[in-house]
Structure 1
């Protein structure tokens, strides 16, 4: 094996500890995303794919760390293999090089389907829990980003003679531009 040993670690939230995933694996470089695996849009995953070169090996704890659906999983591994990069899944003992046999391809699809199923199950349980908490009066939802008064002020200032910009208002009120647009739509 030549080239660099590169790790990819993903946790779903910022407060989760990512250290255990590739603990004990000797690596030259590690890319860490703190984001959901349901989408392929992850900055460190993109950086990893750009970084690796022919002969490198990417190590990942398990397939569900790469993606939570079969299509993305196959695409990510294919993108790496096309560059001549080997992918090793440490806990499942799988290696993908691009010249897989039918059994390896089937395992990739099956394990990807399991990851996809797990995500759907997690979402279903979460929705059930929220529904029960709402019925019991214990779930209030997420705290509003702006008070009604702040929303009115943003609407007034945006529509006013000077027509303050969305970016400036978002920065001043400590919210995203999308939040300002959403509140403006609600006020109208």
Structure 2
């Protein structure tokens, strides 16, 4: 018996998969057969994609909304497409690209056209991923030149830190007491202590 499956991917947990889900429901893909990953498309080490591979068998049909939902790595897309269509021997239908429907044109010319389209689209998907990374890096660099700081704000220590640190060194108080009075972590304490010693020339 041939089963129909759908695969949905968004790049992060805060992105919405509704558009892809609606497209799959409109062609009557059973909800239980739709596998969703909220993860980057840089590779195929995705939990639900791997579960999908375990379910698929020869003759099944897999729907995806667009080739970049499958992945964004040129070589990996080509490899996975071969695994799906040749090794597992399923059919794939890419909804926004009718030429990428392996149920059609199974002759030599049809296969050639589908392979050519796949190569172009998978290249475009990877190129877009690299452009996104480049734009992000450029944006971060520009923000840093404007003085924008990234990461967690540096923990401030009270004015009496030097006095408390000296008392700790003299074993008058414990490290736990210093951490509690300054409301800092042990890592911050030792970092600030090193800075203090550098200032004092110790």
TM-score by length of 1: 0.72
- The structure-2 alpha-carbon separation of the partners of 1:150 and 1:53, relative to structure 1 and needing over 3 Å to count, comes to farther
The answer to whether the aligner puts 1:32 opposite 2:36 as a matched pair is yes
Quote the residue 2:66 is aligned against. Answer: 62
Deviations 1:60-87 (A, max 9, x none): 0100111102211111111111212111
Residue 148 of structure 1: CA displacement? 7.0
The answer to whether the aligner puts 1:116 opposite 2:121 as a matched pair is no
Higher Cα Rg, which structure: 2
Residue 141 of structure 1: CA displacement? 1.8
CA distance in structure 1 between the partners assigned to 2:152 and 2:60 by the alignment: 46
CA distance in structure 1 between the partners assigned to 2:94 and 2:186 by the alignment: 49
CA distance in structure 2 between the partners assigned to 1:41 and 1:106 by the alignment: 25
**Aligned-partner SS, 2:101:** strand
**Aligned-partner SS, 2:185:** helix
Quote the residue 2:101 is aligned against. Answer: 95
| RMSD of aligned Cα (Å) | 2.4
Residue 33 of structure 1: CA displacement? 0.3
Q: Which moves more between the two structures, 69-78 or 5-14?
A: 69-78
CA distance in structure 2 between the partners assigned to 1:89 and 1:150 by the alignment: 54
Residue 152 of structure 1: CA displacement? 6.9
Query: Quick check: 1:49–1:79 contact (8 Å CA) kept in 2?
Result: no
- The structure-2 alpha-carbon separation of the partners of 1:141 and 1:103, relative to structure 1 and needing over 3 Å to count, comes to same
Residue 150 of structure 1: CA displacement? 4.4
Q: How does 1:152-167 map to 2 (within 5 A)?
A: none
Query: Quick check: 1:22–1:60 contact (8 Å CA) kept in 2?
Result: no
Residue 101 of structure 1: CA displacement? 2.0
**Aligned-partner SS, 1:101:** helix
- Consecutive unaligned residues in structure 2, runs of 5 or more: 156-182, 190-202
Quote the residue 1:7 is aligned against. Answer: 6
